[in-house]
């Protein structure tokens, strides 16, 4: 299978899950001394992951939490960020300018920072009050953090049950999903490799996936134009430009907002003949209880779309590493 | 001038400003008995206006406030909405399904609702605890509400000064902006009437304008494809698909996030030869102090873009009233 190293994938996910002890110790320490609110701070892809953490927490939590875009925070500020605020960030490079400035501002306001930074020797890593350094798996790190905060707040009784299942089955489960999605990935890549624009629609923890898959993968790495739209908003304007040949892909997950995307998926065939529905429900996750699947839909979607990526990259002879402008120019 | 009735515009804005006594009495009553938080609830265009109210309040307020998309609220819920919550909504028709369901749910949770509903005899109007019924000017209504809450919280000392200026000068000022933008409107409409896709970029209180202008006007009313993107996010993926001929319009306002859009405007000429910068700073607003202009940028932008609309409608022989699908089908 193209660009797929099963053992590497298993090790990556299991290694991320093994961070849990470290995360629990950090979060428990914060909860013991008390905190005022949680600010998920991001930009670009990490902003999208923050949106996923936010909708995940909304389902069950009364904790005071919110998302901030780093560039907006730097310019407009947010009076809720201050002493007692826990800022959670993630960064691969540890050098994104807006994130450095945002963290600096939050710390000056009195906030503490939990930093998931892949490289420990970077500026962002050094600014974190609590540093966890391990590559990739950003969403898993964020969800483990959110879950521990909710568990400590008495809002997540199934915490231990969930993570026992994940420790035992998630890595292999995701690898199996990835393998079984390869054919779909190749088919969609072939069908859409020449698209002039492609629409992605999703809701719940799939909205962040929709937003970042469109922008950080198709636009940034494949140089194909996209628009991403929340399923809730689809019927309030955007759908007027869809006709028979418009390329549309709907991400359907299994969390509380599933019905919003199902509504789009059910309607599309009436007005469009060039759509795809990717429904995480069609993929088995052995060993994981039904009730936890909604919790994990975005992780399934990520490994499914990764199969589109590898085929698109090959078919379009467009290595995903290259950038036209990003970090190539001053701006 | 095409489709422009100056007296009607003046009356419309002045009539909206005259709602202030009614709004003050509602907000003062709520503040006197106390409240827990403010929830701006919307969908589609009213969701975009809610985002504008949110960023406007963020600049100066420590009040606990947030935005909810009605469809997301119905499905995922929000534990912060309950007794003591003030939900603020706006609706022209008073019959949008998601809004009716959202308001119902919020009221069941114990919230009180301030409703700006154009038609008083509609379901949404009847559900409002406090009803203000006056056509159009949604953003002005929202900002007057937000400003009064902030004034009562001691966060907006210039309240009386601002509204004295608006009462005296806003309506005429906006009419003058609209007239002076007509030539630009016609030029942009001619230049972009055949676009296969058009990108709109904006930040601050222009982001809601960007999002809704792209979706509720070009997509819904002109049937032209768009993507809207926050200026903060432009450099984090999307800009990779911009080349010489890509149609891009940047909305530059005068609030705290102006620099984010200026950054895009300054960079664009290096990679694109088909862009437009619309900067509210280029338009005079007689009688309005410099310090209040940021506060009003989105109102200026709205009258400026309305001149693009009327010319686009005529040039493309596409009446803005027609819809392909919206309320034409069951979905």
Q: What is the per-residue pLDDT for B248?
A: 98
| Selected residue of B98, B207, B236 to mutate for chain A interface (largest A Cβ count, 10 A) | B236
Span A262-277, average pLDDT:
98
CB pairs < 8 Å spanning A and B: 181
Q: Whole-angstrom distance between the N-terminal and C-terminal Cα of chain A?
A: 39
pLDDT tens digit string along B282-302?
999 999 999 999 999 999 999
CA distances from B182 to B282, B306, B317 (A): 14, 9, 18
**In angstroms, rounded to a whole number, what is the distance separating the alpha carbons of residues A299 and A286?**
14
Chain A residues with CB-CB distance to B64 below 8 A: 64, 80
Residues on chain A touching B326 (C-beta within 8 angstroms): 235, 237, 239-240
What confidence tens digit (pLDDT) does each residue in B97-150 have? 999 999 999 999 999 999 999 999 999 999 999 999 999 999 999 999 999 999
Which of A61, A76, A222 to mutate: most B Cβ within 10 Å? A76
Name the pLDDT band for B94 (thresholds 50, 70, 90).
Answer: very high
Residue of B nearest to A237 (CA): B220
Q: Which member of B220, B232, B263 has the closest CB to residue A237?
A: B220
Per-chain mean pLDDT for chain A: 97
Beta-strand ranges (E) seen in A13-150 are 37-42, 65-69, 85-91, 112-117, 130-132
Between positions 226 and 245 of A, the ones with CB within 8 A of B are 226-227, 230-233, 235-241
Using the beta-carbon criterion (under 8 Å), do A326 and B239 form an inter-chain contact?
yes
Task: Give per-residue pLDDT as tens, A279-317.
Answer: 999 999 999 999 999 999 999 999 999 999 999 999 999
Of A76, A79, A238, the CB nearest to B257: A76
Does the beta carbon of B267 lie under 8 angstroms from any beta carbon of chain A?
A: yes
User: What's the burial of B140, exposed, middle or buried (CB within 10 Å: 0-12/13-18/19+)?
Assistant: buried
Which pLDDT value is given to residue B13? Answer: 98
Phi-psi region of A47 (alpha: psi -120 to 50; beta: other; left: phi over 0): alpha
pLDDT of residue A54: 98
How large is the average pLDDT for residues A23-32? Answer: 98
User: pLDDT exceeding 70 applies to what percent of chain A?
Assistant: 100
Q: How many angstroms separate the CA of residue B79 from the nearest CA in chain A?
A: 5
For residue A108, what pLDDT is reported? 98
Q: Roughly what angle, to the nearest 10 degrees, separates helices B182-192 and B293-315?
A: 50
What integer pLDDT is reported at residue A110 of this predicted model? 98
Residue B325 is nearest to which of A44, A72, A239, comparing CB atoms? A239
Contacts of A252 in chain B (CB under 8 A): none
What would the pLDDT profile of A123-158 be if each residue is shown by its tens digit? 999 999 999 999 999 999 999 999 999 999 999 999
CA distance A27 to A8: 28
Residue A323: partners with Cβ closer than 8 Å, 6 or more residues away = A220, B240
Average pLDDT over residues A83-106: 97
% of chain A with per-residue pLDDT over 90: 100
A residues 195-224 lying closer than 8 A (beta carbon) to B:
196-197, 203-204, 212, 215-216, 219-221, 223-224
What's the average model confidence in pLDDT over B86-95?
97
Q: Contacts of residue B235 in chain A, CB cutoff 8 Å?
A: 326, 331
Q: How many CA atoms lie within 13 A of B53 on its CB side?
A: 33
Tokens found for residue B106: 């919020």
pLDDT at B31: 98
Residues of B in contact with A257 (CB under 8 A): 72, 75-76
Rounded Cα distance between B157 and B151, Å, is 6
Among B241, B247, B254, B324, the strongest candidate for a mutation testing the A interface, having the largest count of A CBs within 10 A, is: B241
d(CA A47, CA B126): 39
Q: Chain-wide mean pLDDT for chain B?
A: 97
- Looking at the complex, report in whole angstroms how far the Cα of residue B82 sits from the nearest Cα belonging to chain A: 11
A109-128 mean pLDDT: 97
Instruction: Quickly count: other Cβ atoms within 10 Å of residue B186's Cβ.
Output: 18
Residues of B in contact with A266 (CB under 8 A): 331
CB-based contacts of A307, cutoff 8 Å, min separation 6? A178, A181, A182, A184, A185, A186
For residue B75, what are the CA distances in angstroms to A58, A93, B259?
Answer: 11, 36, 36
The Cα of A171 is separated from the nearest Cα of chain B by a number of Å equal to 28
Structure letter (DSSP) for residue A283: S
Please tell me which residue of chain A has the smallest CA distance to B155.
A79
For chain A, which domains are there? 6-157 (3.40.50.10490), 161-315 (3.40.50.10490)
Alpha-carbon gap, residue B136 to A150, rounded angstroms: 42
Indicate which of A196, A235, A236, A238 best probes the interface with B, i.e. most B CBs within 10 Å of its own CB: A236
Quick one: pLDDT band at residue B42, thresholds 50, 70, 90?
very high
| Mean pLDDT value of segment A40-60 | 97
Which of B61, B226, B266 minimises the CB distance to A79? Answer: B61
- The reported pLDDT for the residue numbered A285 is 97
């Amino acid at each position: 299978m193209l660009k797929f190293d099963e053992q590497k994938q298993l090790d990556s996910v299991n290694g991320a899950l093994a961070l849990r002890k470290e995360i629990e110790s950090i979060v428990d320490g914060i909860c013991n001394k008390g905190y005022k609110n949680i600010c998920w701070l991001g930009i670009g892809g990490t902003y999208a992951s923050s949106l996923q953490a936010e909708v995940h927490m909304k389902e069950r939590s009364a904790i005071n939490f919110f998302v901030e875009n780093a560039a907006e925070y730097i310019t407009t500020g947010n009076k809720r960020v201050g002493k007692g605020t826990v800022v959670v960030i993630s960064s691969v490079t540890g050098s994104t300018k807006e994130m450095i400035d945002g963290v600096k501002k939050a710390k000056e306001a009195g906030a503490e920072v939990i930093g998931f930074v892949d490289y420990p020797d970077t500026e962002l890593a050094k600014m974190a009050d609590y540093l966890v350094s391990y590559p990739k798996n950003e969403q898993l790190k964020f969800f483990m953090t959110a879950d521990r905060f909710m568990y400590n707040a008495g809002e997540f009784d199934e915490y231990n049950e969930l993570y026992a299942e994940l420790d035992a089955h998630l890595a292999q489960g995701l690898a199996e999903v990835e393998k079984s999605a390869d054919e779909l990935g190749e088919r969609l890549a072939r069908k859409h490799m020449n698209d002039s624009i492609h629409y992605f629609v999703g809701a719940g923890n799939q909205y962040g996936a929709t937003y970042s898959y469109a922008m950080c993968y198709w636009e940034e790495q494949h140089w194909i134009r996209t628009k991403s739209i929340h399923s809730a908003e689809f019927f309030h304007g955007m759908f007027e430009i869809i006709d028979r040949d418009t390329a549309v892909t709907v991400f359907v997950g299994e969390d509380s907002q599933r019905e919003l995307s199902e509504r789009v998926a059910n309607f599309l065939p009436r007005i469009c003949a060039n759509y795809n529905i990717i429904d995480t429900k069609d993929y088995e996750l052995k060993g994981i209880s039904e009730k936890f699947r909604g919790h994990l839909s975005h992780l399934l979607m990520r490994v499914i779309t990764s199969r589109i990526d590898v085929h698109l990259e090959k078919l379009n002879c467009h290595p995903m590493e290259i950038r036209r402008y990003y970090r190539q120019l001053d701006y």
